[in-house]
């Protein structure tokens, strides 16, 4: 076996599809016997939406999404940001189903009910067996067994605030006590009431409290609502209930020898819904690199660029989500003053644009844009050319010397483009531009560099 991916959540499934596009053999292991039906995430925001387009997946997501397109604005904690950001609204179980279908179409094997015991041992329904994989990738969440076995530290902090969240069958209740749709502040915490789909109410409550043992119950949820709101909130039949404690953590390293981490196994953010967006982009970055090394078309040193590129992204995301959490959590007159002034600053166009870019993606690498191309006389989108997940040389000046310098492993696209930034662009499978210019020697240097 070439690559074992531990965890069949969205990040593990996305990684499996990327590995198969790159020609690598991959098996996904998940300790759950069946997919998790809890809607832990309700959508995606930012660059990952563009990456789904690059892989031809956006149409599948769009067909089932409640919304796809630029959000006119997003909240930065409790503060509105008016800069448009690309996004889509689709609950996590449907994302997993679509990504499962894609991974299997490409030939990935998914084994459910198989739990990692050691880095070389899996326990399945018929007992333990040896895991003989060249590489192991932990996409197994906040309590990652892979991270633990690899001895990778996970420093950070855990919040003392407990959040209970539930989906209930019915319509939005009549609001009492001055409740508004969304989060409502009270001296003892915050209460959420909203709806993301017809006939389903989303309710939540945050308070400073220890996390109880056992599974969450409706009685516990109602008691928390009463403590914070001062009255009962009429809610219908619960579809699911959860409780979480926010953490702000970042793995010390994303690689330990043949072991890698991605998604929540590598980072936990305390606010803002960034975890899944960042985790899926981890998978896109790592997938083509692992596949290239397994194929023998890239040196082992290429894999070090995964940590070098993705760890700073998570660190920057951790910084901005800590600020979001602080803005949201600070209470009393100090909190009101902080949110008022921050909101005034965020209304300035440059500040709004900066916050919008942070919400879109904390990655500062140069990515290819959707240039207006004509290939063989036909209008073509960059996203369509990137579907095969290969390195591409976009030749805008019909330069034979640049095409010759690219070599046999690079897909060459000769195109006309009125907005071409240079004679040629070299674009990695994940959309990163590693060369923009007209010099064949510089192109060869870019191809030879780590992270090419």
Rounded to two decimals, the pTM is 0.93
What is the rounded CA–CA span in Å between residue 268 and residue 276? 10
Are 200 and 297 found together in one domain? no
What is the model's pLDDT at position 175? 55
CB 344 within 8 A of CB 352: no
Are 165 and 109 found together in one domain? no
Largest CA distance in the chain: 75
Percent of the chain with pLDDT over 90: 77
Are 126 and 24 found together in one domain? yes
Task: Collect all residues with Cβ–Cβ distance below 8 Å to 400 and sequence separation of at least 6.
Answer: none
Three-state DSSP class for residue 278? helix
Nearest alpha carbon to residue 234 among 297, 158, 179, 184: 179
Domain that holds residue 432: 373-448
Are 224 and 267 found together in one domain? no
Three-state DSSP class for residue 32? coil
Residue 452's pLDDT band (boundaries 50, 70, 90)?
Answer: low
pLDDT tens, residue by residue, 61-76: 999 998 899 988 888 9
The predicted model gives 215-228 an average pLDDT of 93
Q: Are strands 433-437 and 424-427 parallel, antiparallel or unpaired?
A: antiparallel
Residue 173's pLDDT band (boundaries 50, 70, 90)?
Answer: low
Are 40 and 117 found together in one domain? yes
Are 111 and 219 found together in one domain? no
Residue 262's pLDDT band (boundaries 50, 70, 90)?
Answer: very high
What is the rounded CA–CA span in Å between residue 6 and residue 350? 42
What is the rounded CA–CA span in Å between residue 180 and residue 162? 21
Residue 335 maps to which CATH number?
3.50.50.60
Identify whether 365 is part of a domain.
Answer: no
Identify whether 422 is part of a domain.
Answer: yes
Are 82 and 33 found together in one domain? yes
Identify whether 368 is part of a domain.
Answer: no
Identify whether 367 is part of a domain.
Answer: no
Residue 235 maps to which CATH number?
3.30.70.2450
pLDDT tens, residue by residue, 379-430: 999 999 999 999 999 999 999 999 999 988 899 999 999 989 999 999 999 9
Are 288 and 257 found together in one domain? yes
Residue 422 maps to which CATH number?
3.40.30.120
pLDDT tens, residue by residue, 116-125: 999 999 999 9
**Structure letter (DSSP) for residue 300:** G
Nearest alpha carbon to residue 252 among 315, 159, 300: 315
Based on its alpha-carbon atoms, the radius of gyration of the chain, rounded to whole angstroms, reads 23
Are 119 and 170 found together in one domain? no
pLDDT at 101 over 80: yes
Are 104 and 68 found together in one domain? yes
Of the residues 228, 246, 264, the one at which a domain ends: 246
Of the residues 338, 360, 382, the one at which a domain ends: 360
Identify whether 69 is part of a domain.
Answer: yes
Are 107 and 167 found together in one domain? no
The predicted model gives 216-230 an average pLDDT of 93
Are 342 and 355 found together in one domain? yes
SS3 readout for 156-172: EEEEEEEEEEEEEECCC
Task: Collect all residues with Cβ–Cβ distance below 8 Å to 374 and sequence separation of at least 6.
Answer: 380, 415, 416, 417
User: What is the number of structural domains in the chain?
Assistant: 3
Of the residues 213, 246, 279, the one at which a domain ends: 246
Tokens of 220: 């516990």
The predicted model gives 233-257 an average pLDDT of 92
| Mean residue pLDDT across the chain | 93
Lowest mean pLDDT among 105-114, 168-177, 187-196, 277-286: 168-177
DSSP assignment of 212-267: PSSS--HHHHHHHHHHHHSS------EEEEEEEEEEEEE-S-SEETTEEE-GGGTE
**Distances from the Cα of 129 to the Cαs of 8, 118, 290, in angstroms?**
19, 10, 24
pLDDT at 332 over 70: yes
DSSP assignment of 410-446: SEEEE-B-TT-SSSEEEE-TTSBEEEEES-HHHHHHH
What is the model's pLDDT at position 113? 97
Identify whether 42 is part of a domain.
Answer: yes
């Amino acid at each position: 076996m070439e690559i074992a991916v531990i965890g069949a959540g969205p990040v593990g499934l996305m990684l499996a599809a990327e590995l198969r596009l790159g020609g690598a053999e991959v098996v996904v292991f998940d300790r759950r016997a069946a997919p998790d039906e809890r809607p832990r995430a309700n959508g995606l925001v930012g660059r990952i939406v563009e990456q789904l387009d690059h892989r031809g997946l956006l149409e599948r997501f769009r067909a089932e999404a409640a919304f796809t397109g630029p959000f006119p604005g997003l909240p930065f904690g409790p503060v509105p940001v008016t800069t448009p950001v690309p996004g889509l609204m689709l609950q996590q179980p449907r994302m997993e189903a679509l990504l499962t279908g894609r991974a299997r179409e490409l030939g990935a094997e998914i084994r459910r009910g198989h739990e990692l015991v050691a880095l070389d041992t899996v326990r399945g329904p018929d007992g333990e067996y040896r895991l003989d994989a060249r590489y192991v990738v932990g996409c197994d969440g906040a309590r990652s067994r892979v991270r633990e076995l690899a001895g990778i530290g996970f420093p950070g902090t855990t919040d003392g605030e407990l959040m209970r969240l539930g989906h209930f069958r019915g319509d939005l209740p009549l609001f009492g006590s001055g409740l508004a749709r969304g989060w409502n502040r009270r001296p003892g915490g915050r209460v959420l009431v909203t709806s993301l789909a017809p006939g389903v109410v989303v309710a939540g409550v945050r308070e400073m409290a220890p996390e109880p043992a056992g599974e969450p119950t409706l009685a516990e949820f109602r008691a928390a609502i009463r403590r914070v709101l001062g009255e009962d909130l009429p809610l219908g039949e619960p579809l699911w209930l959860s409780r979480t404690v926010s953490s702000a953590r970042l793995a010390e390293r994303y690689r330990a020898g043949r072991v890698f981490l991605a998604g929540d196994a590598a980072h936990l953010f305390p606010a803002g819904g960034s975890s899944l967006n960042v985790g899926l982009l981890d998978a896109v970055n790592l997938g083509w690199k692992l596949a290239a090394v397994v194929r023998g078309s890239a040196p082992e040193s290429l894999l070090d660029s995964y940590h070098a590129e993705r760890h700073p992204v998570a660190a920057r995301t951790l910084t901005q989500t800590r600020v979001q959490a602080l803005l949201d959590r600070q209470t009393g007159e100090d909190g009101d003053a902080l949110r008022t002034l921050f909101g005034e600053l965020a209304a300035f166009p440059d500040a709004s644009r900066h916050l919008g870019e942070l919400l879109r993606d904390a990655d500062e690498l140069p990515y290819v844009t959707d240039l207006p191309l004509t290939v063989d006389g036909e209008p073509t989108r960059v996203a369509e050319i990137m579907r095969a997940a290969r390195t591409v040389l976009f030749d805008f000046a019909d330069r034979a010397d640049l095409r010759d310098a690219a070599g046999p492993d690079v897909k060459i696209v000769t195109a006309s483009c009125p907005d071409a930034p240079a004679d040629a662009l070299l674009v990695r499978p994940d959309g990163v531009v590693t060369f923009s210019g007209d010099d064949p020697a510089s192109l060869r240097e870019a191809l030879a560099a780590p992270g090419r």
